[in-house]
Amino acid sequence: MTRLPLGLLAASALALLATGALADTIKVGVIGPFSGPFANQGRNFQAGIDAWMALNGKTVGDDEIEVVYRDLPAADPARARTLAQELVVSDGVQYLAGIYFTPDALAIAPLLEEANTPLVIFNAATSAITKQSPLIVRTSFTLPQTSAPMATVAAERGLKRVVTVVSDYGPGADAEGAFSAAFEAKGGQIVEKIRMPLATNDFSPIMQRIRASGADALFAFLPSGPPTLAFARAYNDNGLKGAGVTFLSTGDLTQESDLPALGTSVEGFLTTFHYSVAHDGPENKAFVEAAGKAIGDPKLLTFPAVGAFDGMRVIAKMIEATGGEQDAAAAVEAVKGIRFESPRGPVTIDPETRSPTQTIYLREVAKAGDGFVNREIQSFPDTPDLGWKK
């Protein structure tokens, strides 16, 4: 190997700098459930990231994006904080992202300003998260945003008496509050409010309470994963469907990756949500093709993938706006108010809430070919984060 004199090496380096040919590697640290009961949600984070890079490349200007993954199998605020610290200090990440559960996002928030690091939330959906730090941006949804429209649906369908059933943590409280307030404002009655520990897996006693209440419908929220499968099955097994109790929920309970297992038991279920894999549009067609390849089995594709895909879009915009420099405040400022066409439809990052304003869809679980889809049958355009309070 021929060695150049030191002077020539220095001159060559200066020439490369002058032409911008020396690229930096911008590291993005992604925390999510890549193992354990919620592992498919983590796989969807990665599928969304891989789809973004397949369609848009790994570089922004002269800088290359490198993603560093850390596994957080279940909600664990202390571990989430430790992982975030390790990513910033040991791995040198310039951006943090991912986060499936709200308690983990809340634990990380106090670190961000000292670390000069933005956090882009791919999923966690409690409205209050973005209030915890000006350096948090969300690309998913909030529970008030997806819950309140269902109250409109319930009223339009003549339902008068509803029991709310939610997991007892931040998003559940948001879902319960948003649906209840909107439904009561339309003249409906909340017969009972039931909150369940996150670890609940036997839902038969709850279904019996709902049936005994004489309610026309139940409105439910649980985080997508094994509990939602058990909850939907319990609704049928305990005779609520046969008794005419209408099932209403956010889209978490009928995520596409669960539909093959649920089958006809959820046919006709009504949910309100920001995304369906069956959404009709060219952006979604390209996304589903790329993300389906990335995840390996397209039947596993579900909503966290689109939050990650658009999260990478936002991070790429931040890198572009800051020229690859680490300036968290400038990075966040650059994406306030941006509007883009997502696989889910039009999205605006609201400058105040730093969460998406987007279309929320009423979906019905319907048979399609040899499987089932969440078929969009009504839309609520330009829905903001309805839980944001100054």
Assess contact for 301 and 288: CB atoms under 8 A. yes
In angstroms, rounded to a whole number, what is the distance separating the alpha carbons of residues 374 and 315? Answer: 29
CA distances (Å), origin 35, targets 31, 50, 313: 12, 18, 25
What angle, rounded to 10 degrees, do the helices at 282-295 and 304-322 form?
100
What's the confidence (pLDDT) of residue 324?
95
Distances in whole angstroms, Cα of residue 320 to Cα of each of 312, 335, 354: 12, 11, 19
Structure tokens at 109: 């928030």
Check if the beta carbon of residue 162 is closer than 8 Å to that of residue 249: no
Please name the residue that has the structure tokens 């990478």. 312
Amino acid at 150: M
Rounded to whole angstroms, the Cα distance separating 344 from 25 reads 30
Q: Which residues does 354 contact at the CB level (< 8 Å), separation at least 6? A: 130, 136, 137, 138, 332, 336
**Unique residue bearing structure tokens 């032409």:** 19
Output the pLDDT for position 265: 87
What's the chain's length in residues? 390
Q: What is the pLDDT of residue 225?
A: 78
Long-range contacts of 329-334 (CB under 8 A, 24+ apart): 329/134, 329/135, 331/95, 331/118, 332/118, 332/134, 332/135, 332/137
Q: How many CA atoms lie within 13 A of 359 on its CB side?
A: 18
Listed as ranges, residues in the chain with pLDDT below 70 are 1-23, 390
* SS3 of residue 337 by DSSP: coil
d(CA 253, CA 374): 11
Confidence at residue 17, expressed as pLDDT on a 0 to 100 scale: 34
Model pTM score: 0.91
